[in-house]
Every structure is written in structure tokens, then in C-alpha cells.
Chains A and B, each alone.
Chain A
């Protein structure tokens, strides 16, 4: 579904991603772990071109995103949902409006249909009673669940999660992970950057370990967590587990 060929990314002289080749398949849940500064967030943001790669290409459902025209890129992005560490809900819109604005304005969905879908999605993430609430009146966990629902409202083929629980108070992490588990079970293709090793072990089909701009090791959760081969993986896991 997403193919990454020779992806490189530099900020100035600082090379953050060094020639990454990877492929994500339909229905797969891939968790990316690694120390801070290893380039995992940048890698994820390159997948939908929020970061422009310095070199290499991203092929999504057969179409290379790199070098695509603005308009076509926007259309393909509609199929790639993204959830951010800081939620990034639109503070001037209610929960429901957060879910309907993009489908209505950029996809041309009719308002009634969008509203109906929004209610259904908010119900699905356990916030059926918060349709009219503004983000400022929601807890962090609730905001992140709205953000997930917002991405789902575009009916994406793949969901990208950028450390979705890192900015949350500990007692709210569970509710967000629960929504993500449900989503994984429904068969959604997901790429998740996270520090939640429990989630990775339980939900992931595949775990990538990144360090210093490269994918150092990958395998099933079993392989990575129980029997890491690379020294850096061992070192990292010994610190977080």
C-alpha cells in the first residue's frame, strides 16, 4: 500500500533519515519504536509529505507522491488519516464540526451525510454526548479521541499515528489506546510511532526499531521484544521495559 524507496531527509546539514526502504501492506499494523531523535516522527511525516523528502520516493497505492501536483497530492492525502501528538483539533469548531469540515469542504460530501457520519464516529470513540463541545472543554484523552474520529471521517485507507499518547496524562492513555486497538481489529492499515511498548506487543503485526535515521531491526513483536538481535535494540529496550 505504501512503498518507501531510498528515502532521505536532511534539515540543513543534519541528516535525519538515511536511505530508508520499507513497505507497508494492506491491513497491516506497524509500530515504529526507537529513542528520541532517531527520526521516527520525521519518517512518519514523510509518508504523507507533511515533510518534503530530500531524496527518494513515496509510492502510495501505486502513485508516487513525490513530485505530484498540489491538487493531486491533496486528494491522496484524504486517504491518509493522521493523528498528532498535540491533537491539533480546531479550537474554534465544536467536536462535530471538527469532523465535518474537511469532508464537506475538500471532499464535497453533503452536510447531512457528514453530520450523520460524524455522530456515528463520535459514538464509536465513546464521545456521543460531546458533539457540541469545544476542544477547550474536553480533556486531553477526549481531544485525542475526537482527533482520531476526525481522521476517520475522511474514510482513509491508512492511519498514521505520531506519538498519540505522549502528551496525555497517564490516566488518559488507556482510553486512547483502546480506540486504537478497536481500529486495528477492524482491519485498518496503521503506522504508529509510539513509546507504548505494551500496545506494540499486543497489537502490532510488525515492529520497526529506528535509531539514528535508519531502520536498525524489524520483526514480529515476539522477535523484537523477546529476542532482539541488534545491540542498539537491546540497549534501548533494556531502558524502556
Chain B
């Protein structure tokens, strides 16, 4: 499903891209490298829920993405003489983001499979890796090989190399999820019996959780599947060459060992923070900043979407009530189309499609998408409200010599607003909750931060609970606020 979705988006992007940038994919005259050096910044896409490769840690009191891949990225940026900028995006959105030019390269412990090579180019392999199986500690005697897992329920990250490897397990029932934390939770709660995970990542998790056990799986690996490499857009050979130089330097000096050791310290430090105090207290005190940042961004997205949605919705509602040629069909078409397509696709479309034309930050793209979406719904609510006001009100206004505009503004609209207030409140609450969809393009709102906390705290359920409470606090305060204003509009 996910794959088909991504395929569909890629297709759309290619269609939009065809007329716009037909020659960029093939022509290579050193321009890719030149472009990055001109811009002075290398934008690296990664998926920061993958310790020890990339994960969040507090460094000098500041939360950052750290890990081996990030240190490699720093080395590359240094050698190119540019700044490094990390973009944290969901793993299965990384390659679409690369192709849509939202990022320059992808460094995410990614294995250069033959399938991936069809759409992107890869650097040399910078890290030889192995593939593990992860099981519950209590099952470690029973499950010790691929064969022993025959017919069991196996979890894998969707769009990953491991998804293919899991097929080597005979008669396995495969469960694909986007988020590794969800898979680990599924394993702990007996929803699946084993997971296929990248070696060092599996060891990092098992090392933090006594209830888990991991071992190297006896998979048949193709040469390509045995390591991690950096992904590039096709045809950007000059950039690949430059990066390969850095990678061979890293290999000569055996720097990956060193990088892994540093990453291990960050992970240990996160664990150290947790110890000592009671678990609940320390959980909140360790991670409250993530929740705070997420809440602020969720609020920012929701407030902007409510505001722009109201403006756009009012405009569309008036257009739909207009008698002028073309105005009404235009508004109707917009509303029908936006209501008839999923917000998820709209968010991804706007982000990735805009990436091909100009650099629109993910947060802005998210706000635009959610605003455009809510505008369509609010338009219909407002139109209903305007129609619900007795025609006598307009006649009275017009008989007093008010213009159509004045009648709408001073007489009709305020009364419509009162009638639709509960429905608007409903829509606002929906916006708060649905804004979480922008996490797919890497916007650090509440759901996104929850995922981050789950991956770094090695806790599956508690972060979900905290997030639930925060959402409830937000929507409940909004309800109270709306009720207050509803009361003040009531003159009966």
C-alpha cells in the first residue's frame, strides 16, 4: 500500500516535472557539485529513528540529530567546504524527497538494493553491515534461525531492505509498518513474534531493553545488500565522486569505528539521564522539550490553518453564492476536488511538487496544505450558515439602502457566524488533530516528536499516553473558548 502510494506520488511528480525540468536529470557537467558549493549548504535527508546511525540526543543542552551517519555527513560537508543541514523525514519518504529536490543527498543507513538503484544513484558502500533477527528474550531458546521462525508473524519496516529479506522466512506472515518503534512495541506486546532489523540498530535496541534478544540472521544476502551507502539523484556524478573521495578517506582512517563509539556514548548518556529517579518523573523531565516543541508547532500549524482556512473559506463561500460567470463553478470545483482527496496526499503533493520548483520549507508546505484543505470544508459550513439567515434580513438591509457588501458584512455574516459556530468549532478541533498528518514530510509537530521520543527513550506506550493528554488539553481548551464566545453572541 505504502509503496503504491509512493509510486503514485512519484508518477505525479514526474508528470509535473516533465514540462518543467526535462533536461536536469541527464545533463551532468559538474553542475551538481557546483550548485551545492554555490548554495554553500548541503541538505541531507535522513530518518532519525535509527540508532546508532541517526537519532536524537541532547548535545550541550540542545537537541540535535546525532549518530554515525551524521558524523559522516559532517565530514562530507567539511570536505566540500559547505554548511550541513539535516532534514529529518520518514524513511519511506526519503527517496521521493530526494527526487523532488527537497534534499541533496540521503544518508540514512540505506542499503543500495537493485530496486532502489533503478531510481537513484549510490555512493560506494561506507559501512559493511549484517542483518539481524530480533525476538522476545523469553523466546531466545526457541527462535535461533530463519528456519525456526517458519510460519511465524514477522515485523519489518515498510520500504526497507528487511522487508525483502523477511520473505526468506518460510510461510511467514509479514507485518510492514513505517515506524520501528511501533514494530518494537508490537513485538513486546506479542502481536508479532520476530523482526528483521539492520544489525547495529537491532543491537542498540536490544542493549537497552532486557525483554528483547537479537542475533545475526542466516539470510542469503546479495553483495549490494550487505552495506549502507549514500543516495543521490541520478546523473549527479560530480557530487558522487566528491563524496566517494571523503568516504574512501573515512575508510582508510577507519573512522567509522570512532563514529560508532561516539554514537554509543550519546545513547548511553540518554540512558544515564533516565536512571536514578522514578521512571515517570524522569521520563517527563528528560523529554518534556520534545513534547513542548511538538505542541508549539502543532499550535502554529492549527492556528495558521484556522486563520487562512477562514479567509479562504469565506471567499469560496461568497464565490459559491455569486451569480457571476465562471466564479461559482470555479469555487465548486475547488471544494469538490479538495474534499474528495485525502489530506495525506495533498500534504505530500504540495511538499514534493513544490520541491521541484523552489525550496519551500516543510513547515510552510504543511501549513499551506492544511489551510487549503480546511478552506474547502469551512467554505461549505459558511455557505450553509449564510443560507440559513432569513431572506427578510437581506431585504431589510437593502430597503435601508445598504449595498450587498454592507448587508453581507454587517447583517448576514454575523448572524450566519452564530448559526455555524458549533460546526466551525468542530472543524477547528478536527484541524488540530489532522495537522498531525504533516509529520509525513518531517515537520516536527506533536506526532512527529512523539515518534522521536519513542525511538530514543525505548518506550513504546508512555509517549503515546502523554501525547493523547496534550491533544485533549488543546482541544478541550479550544472547546471552552468557543463556548465562551458562543455565549457572548447569544441575544435570545
Whether A150 and B400, one on each chain, are in contact in the complex, defined by CB atoms closer than 8 angstroms, is: yes
Q: A91-B491, A92-B418, A105-B410 are in contact. Are A151 and B400 (CB under 8 A)?
A: yes
Say yes or no: is A74 at the interface (Cβ < 8 Å to chain B): yes
Whether A90 and B411, one on each chain, are in contact in the complex, defined by CB atoms closer than 8 angstroms, is: yes
Q: How far is the CB of B93 from chain A (nearest CB, A)?
A: 48
Whether A88 and B392, one on each chain, are in contact in the complex, defined by CB atoms closer than 8 angstroms, is: yes
Alpha-carbon distance A70/B395, docked complex (angstroms): 15
The proximity string for A residues 65-102 relative to B, scoring 1 for CB distances below 8 Å and 0 otherwise, is 00000110011111111101010111110000000011
Whether B491 and A48, one on each chain, are in contact in the complex, defined by CB atoms closer than 8 angstroms, is: no
Whether A92 and B414, one on each chain, are in contact in the complex, defined by CB atoms closer than 8 angstroms, is: yes
- A contact residues around B414 at 8 Å (CB): 92
Whether A102 and B491, one on each chain, are in contact in the complex, defined by CB atoms closer than 8 angstroms, is: no
Q: A71-B403, A88-B392 are in contact. Are A77 and B398 (CB under 8 A)?
A: yes
Whether B411 and A50, one on each chain, are in contact in the complex, defined by CB atoms closer than 8 angstroms, is: no
Q: How far is the CB of B242 from chain A (nearest CB, A)?
A: 67
The proximity string for B residues 440-476 relative to A, scoring 1 for CB distances below 8 Å and 0 otherwise, is 0000000000000000000000000000000000000
- B contact residues around A71 at 8 Å (CB): 403
Q: Contact partner of A107 among B401, B415, B491, CB < 8 A?
A: B401
Say yes or no: is B27 at the interface (Cβ < 8 Å to chain A): no
Q: A91-B491, A92-B414, A92-B415 are in contact. Are A105 and B402 (CB under 8 A)?
A: yes
Q: How far is the CB of B400 from chain A (nearest CB, A)?
A: 4
Whether B396 and A90, one on each chain, are in contact in the complex, defined by CB atoms closer than 8 angstroms, is: yes
Say yes or no: is B397 at the interface (Cβ < 8 Å to chain A): yes
- A contact residues around B418 at 8 Å (CB): 92
Alpha-carbon distance A53/B36, docked complex (angstroms): 70
- Residue in chain A with minimal CB distance to B418: A92
Whether A88 and B396, one on each chain, are in contact in the complex, defined by CB atoms closer than 8 angstroms, is: yes
Q: Contact partner of A154 among B390, B401, B403, B410, CB < 8 A?
A: B401
Whether B491 and A136, one on each chain, are in contact in the complex, defined by CB atoms closer than 8 angstroms, is: yes
Say yes or no: is A106 at the interface (Cβ < 8 Å to chain B): yes
Say yes or no: is B492 at the interface (Cβ < 8 Å to chain A): yes
Whether B401 and A74, one on each chain, are in contact in the complex, defined by CB atoms closer than 8 angstroms, is: yes
Alpha-carbon distance A220/B390, docked complex (angstroms): 37
Q: Contact partner of B399 among A81, A89, A101, A136, CB < 8 A?
A: A81
Query: Which of A48, A89, A90, A134 has the most C-beta atoms of chain B within 10 angstroms of its own C-beta?
Result: A90
The proximity string for A residues 32-63 relative to B, scoring 1 for CB distances below 8 Å and 0 otherwise, is 00000000000000001010000000000000
Whether B392 and A84, one on each chain, are in contact in the complex, defined by CB atoms closer than 8 angstroms, is: yes
Whether B395 and A102, one on each chain, are in contact in the complex, defined by CB atoms closer than 8 angstroms, is: no
Whether A92 and B491, one on each chain, are in contact in the complex, defined by CB atoms closer than 8 angstroms, is: yes
- B contact residues around A78 at 8 Å (CB): 400-401
Alpha-carbon distance A92/B396, docked complex (angstroms): 14
Q: A92-B418, A136-B492 are in contact. Are A106 and B393 (CB under 8 A)?
A: no
- Residue in chain B with minimal CB distance to A133: B491
Q: A86-B392, A90-B411 are in contact. Are A80 and B489 (CB under 8 A)?
A: no
Q: A101-B410, A134-B491, A136-B492 are in contact. Are A77 and B400 (CB under 8 A)?
A: yes
Q: Contact partner of A105 among B390, B396, B404, B406, CB < 8 A?
A: B406
- B contact residues around A150 at 8 Å (CB): 400
Alpha-carbon distance A92/B390, docked complex (angstroms): 13
- Residue in chain B with minimal CB distance to A90: B411
- A contact residues around B411 at 8 Å (CB): 90, 101
Q: A91-B415, A92-B415 are in contact. Are A75 and B393 (CB under 8 A)?
A: no
Give chain A interface residues in 91-146, CB to chain B under 8 Å. 91-92, 101-102, 105-107, 134-136
Q: How far is the CB of B346 from chain A (nearest CB, A)?
A: 36
Query: Which of A78, A82, A88 has the most C-beta atoms of chain B within 10 angstroms of its own C-beta?
Result: A88
Whether B399 and A48, one on each chain, are in contact in the complex, defined by CB atoms closer than 8 angstroms, is: yes
- Residue in chain A with minimal CB distance to B389: A91
Whether B398 and A50, one on each chain, are in contact in the complex, defined by CB atoms closer than 8 angstroms, is: yes
Q: Contact partner of B403 among A50, A76, A101, A106, CB < 8 A?
A: A106
- B contact residues around A77 at 8 Å (CB): 398-401
Whether B492 and A102, one on each chain, are in contact in the complex, defined by CB atoms closer than 8 angstroms, is: no
Whether B401 and A75, one on each chain, are in contact in the complex, defined by CB atoms closer than 8 angstroms, is: yes
Query: Which of A71, A80, A81, A91 has the most C-beta atoms of chain B within 10 angstroms of its own C-beta?
Result: A91
Alpha-carbon distance A34/B272, docked complex (angstroms): 94
Q: How far is the CB of A149 from chain B (nearest CB, A)?
A: 12
- A contact residues around B395 at 8 Å (CB): 50, 84, 88
Q: How far is the CB of A51 from chain B (nearest CB, A)?
A: 10
- Residue in chain A with minimal CB distance to B399: A82
Give chain B interface residues in 269-295, CB to chain A under 8 Å. none
Q: How far is the CB of B413 from chain A (nearest CB, A)?
A: 10
- Residue in chain A with minimal CB distance to B403: A74
- A contact residues around B390 at 8 Å (CB): 86, 88
- A contact residues around B491 at 8 Å (CB): 91-92, 134-136
Whether A102 and B402, one on each chain, are in contact in the complex, defined by CB atoms closer than 8 angstroms, is: yes
- B contact residues around A80 at 8 Å (CB): 399
Alpha-carbon distance A151/B400, docked complex (angstroms): 7
Q: How far is the CB of A31 from chain B (nearest CB, A)?
A: 20
Query: Which of A71, A76, A78, A79 has the most C-beta atoms of chain B within 10 angstroms of its own C-beta?
Result: A78
Whether B393 and A90, one on each chain, are in contact in the complex, defined by CB atoms closer than 8 angstroms, is: yes
- A contact residues around B403 at 8 Å (CB): 70-71, 74, 106
Could you write out 29 A-B pairs with CB less than 8 Å apart? A50-B399, A74-B401, A74-B403, A75-B401, A76-B401, A77-B398, A77-B399, A77-B400, A78-B401, A81-B400, A84-B395, A84-B396, A86-B390, A88-B390, A88-B393, A89-B396, A90-B411, A91-B415, A92-B414, A102-B397, A105-B402, A105-B406, A105-B410, A106-B401, A106-B406, A135-B491, A136-B491, A147-B396, A160-B399
7 tightest Cβ-Cβ pairs between the two chains A and B: A78-B401, A102-B400, A88-B396, A82-B399, A88-B392, A134-B491, A77-B401
Sample of 12 further A-B pairs with CB below 8 A, known A74-B402, A74-B403: A48-B399, A50-B395, A50-B399, A70-B404, A71-B403, A75-B401, A81-B399, A86-B390, A91-B491, A102-B401, A105-B410, A136-B491
